[in-house]
Amino acid sequence: MAELERTQRHAPAPKDWTYAPAPESRDVVRIAERYGNFIGGEWVEPRDTYATVSPSSEEPLATVAQGTEADVDAAVGAARDAFANGWSELSGSERAKYLFRVARILQERAREFAVLESLNGGKPIKESRDVDLPLAAAHFFYYAGWADKLEYAFPNRSPRPVGVAGQIIPWNFPLLMLAWKVAPALACGNTVVLKPAETTPLTALLFCDVLRQAELPAGVVNIVTGDGRTGAALVDHDGVDKIAFTGSTEVGKAIQRRLAGTGKRLTLELGGKAANIVFDDSALDQAVEGIVNGIYFNQGHVCCAGSRLFVQESIHEQLVEKLKRRLTTLRVGDPLDKNTDVGAINSAMQLEKIRSLVQSGVDEGAEIYQPPCRLPEKGYWFAPTVFTNVAQSYRIAQEEIFGPVLSVLTFRTPDEAVEKANNTPYGLSAGIWTEKGSRILWMAQRMRAGVVWANTFNRFDPTSPFGGYKESGFGREGGLHGLEPYLRFEE
């Protein structure tokens, strides 16, 4: 005891919480100067190119292909050949071998991928290292396990592959979204043409090296980079049997319109405006951690982010105070620094969108709070932001901001919480914080949301299906449900 007291006297609480820089080395990953499209197991020289940059420094990282209609056509052709010439007839256990290999190689090369993901996308290295990479590998392991058990997963229904899957993914979890899409497609015997988002193509391109290492037959997975025009060419291609899309509701709706009447299958995983609901009996400090994780994880570039916080009126003041104090400890800065909590905004365009929505919140009369933090001069940055005094009608309470911006609203009764939480065109996820198990179940039943977390937030697992209601899309990814979109049944 005396010993303890002496240490305390001699070690006063530090006044300054800055840490010495702890950057992860960039040397673990080699980025080529120029990438083509990966078609039929070969790198195909691009007709048209653009530069992909690091959002934290605006430094160009590589020249990549702006895929044309002809590139997409070649990729779909390669996928069609690979489907017909062996892959779709391979036994499930043989397909599983390739998926297990991919999973293991991703684990082995995790550090390399994590650094590249943070460099190209701006997310903190501790997230790419501890979340994106382990989960991406886990998805391949999980679906490898299903590949030879489809008959048991769907008894008496003769599951068969659908054919060529066109997959279009966003920039918030580039490699993880690739894994969510590619793993179930291959497990079911399909072949793939995948288009990464224009701002984050590099981990998908490095993944081609993993495919070669795993000796996956040529043409089973093809990767064509480029912007929305490349995506549109893939959607419109006659040789594609199924489209899987994750991205904005606006583009999702456009894709659905284009596919109407074509017979192509479609799953859409779109935006969200999730409610994170805190009752007065919850463990407040735990809830504060969940709120921070819910909206500042990955700079809020998360479709299921807890962007609307509903607090029971009696604890509003206390909770907001705790939350603001917690915000002052968040470290914003270099994505490659191991101590960084909040990294760079993914692109200049996204930063502009966040800024304009935040300005609308100020103009409409909400009260803004941002902790003091020095943002780097180069690159795209936005300080963690909390809005209080928010009305349900404000744009910041209605529209997906997709940035580190939280809107705090209040409620009095559970009924009111349900009413307000569901009052959105979206329905992807929700969070409930309370000590009462019965209330968790009561609330969960009433949430129009695909995922409901209780006393936690932003937890993901390959065994658990994920997807939306209403304008958040349809179809499920993950779990047994995630196999269905990639199968047809000969009943």
Q: What amino acid positions are annotated as catalytic residues?
A: 269, 303
Q: 67 or 384, CB closer to ligand NAI?
A: 67
Residue selected from 62, 254, 368, 454 as contacting ligand NAI according to rule CB under 6 A = 254
Where does this chain touch ligand NAI (CB under 6 A) — which range of 101-109, 191-199, 378-386, 479-487?
A: 191-199
Look at residue 332 and give its three-state secondary structure.
strand
The Cβ of residue 203 has, within 10 Å, a number of other Cβ atoms equal to 28
DSSP string computed for 168-227: E--SSSHHHHHHHHHHHHHHTT-EEEEE--TT--HHHHHHHHHHHHTTPPTTSEEE---S
Which member of 115, 224, 232, 315 binds ligand NAI (CB under 6 A)?
232
Member of 149, 157, 324, 353 binding ligand NAI (CB under 6 A): 353
- In this chain, which stretch among 66-74, 227-235, 276-284, 357-365 interacts with ligand NAI, using CB under 6 A? 227-235
Structure tokens at 489: 């049944």
Residue with smaller CB distance to ligand NAI, 208 or 270: 270
Q: Work out whether strand 487-489 and strand 159-161 pair parallel, antiparallel, or are unpaired.
A: antiparallel
Q: Say if CB 479 and CB 463 are below 8 A apart.
A: yes
- Of 2-10, 192-200, 282-290, 334-342, the segment contacting ligand NAI by CB under 6 A is 192-200
Please give the Cα distance from 482 to 309 (Å, whole number): 29
| Shortest separation between residue 352's beta carbon and ligand NAI, angstroms | 10
**Tokens encoding 310:** 């509903």
SS (H, E, C) 103-148: HHHHHHCHHHHHHHHHHHHCCCHHHHHHHHHHHHHHHHHHHHHHCC
With a CB cutoff of 8 Å and minimum separation 6, the contacts of 369 are 324, 327, 385, 386, 387, 388
Tell me if 135 contacts ligand NAI by CB under 6 A: no
Which residue's CB is nearer to ligand NAI, number 271 or number 467? 271
Amino acid making up residue 487: L
State in Å, rounded, how far the first CA of the chain is from the last one. Answer: 74
- In sequence order, the β-bridge partners of residue 385 are 405
- Contact residue for ligand NAI among 118, 167, 267, 350 (CB under 6 A): 350
Distance of CA 43 to the CA centre of its chain: 27
| CA–CA gap between residue 336 and residue 253 (Å, rounded) | 36
Q: Smallest gap, in angstroms, from Cβ of residue 123 to ligand NAI?
A: 13
Q: By rule CB under 6 A, what string of x and - marks binding of each residue 196-225 to ligand NAI?
A: -xx---------------------------
What is the H or E stretch that residue 415 is in? helix 414-421
Which CB sits closer to ligand NAI, 303 or 409? 303
What is the residue type of 4? L
Of the candidate residues 170, 174, 361, 404, the single one contacting ligand NAI (CB under 6 A): 170
Residue closer to ligand NAI, measured from CB, 131 or 251 = 251
- Minimum CB distance to ligand NAI smaller for 198 or for 477: 198
Q: Is 248 in the site for ligand NAI (CB under 6 A)?
A: yes
Q: Cβ of 22: how many Cβ atoms within 10 Å?
A: 12
Q: Give 297's contacts (C-beta < 8 A, 6+ positions apart).
A: 127, 305, 458
For ligand NAI, the binding residues in 401-460 under the rule CB under 6 A are 402
Distance of closest approach, residue 70 Cβ to ligand NAI, in angstroms? 17
Taking the least distance from each CB to ligand NAI, the nearer of 194 and 443 is 194
Provide the Cα torsion 334, 335, 341, 347; round to 10°.
100
Binding flags for ligand NAI, 301-340, as an x/- string (CB under 6 A): --x-------------------------------------
In whole angstroms, the minimum distance from the beta carbon of 417 to ligand NAI comes to 24
Question: Would you say 113 or 466 has its CB closer to ligand NAI?
Answer: 466
Is 400 a residue that touches ligand NAI (CB under 6 A)? yes
Q: Rounded distance, CA 19 to CA 388, Å?
A: 30
Stretch that binds ligand NAI, among 7-15, 228-236, 330-338, 442-450 (CB under 6 A): 228-236
C-alpha to C-alpha distance for 369 and 180, rounded to whole angstroms: 36
Which residues are near ligand NAI by CB under 6 A?
168-170, 172, 195, 197-198, 227-228, 231-232, 235, 246-248, 251, 254-255, 270-271, 303, 350, 353, 400, 402
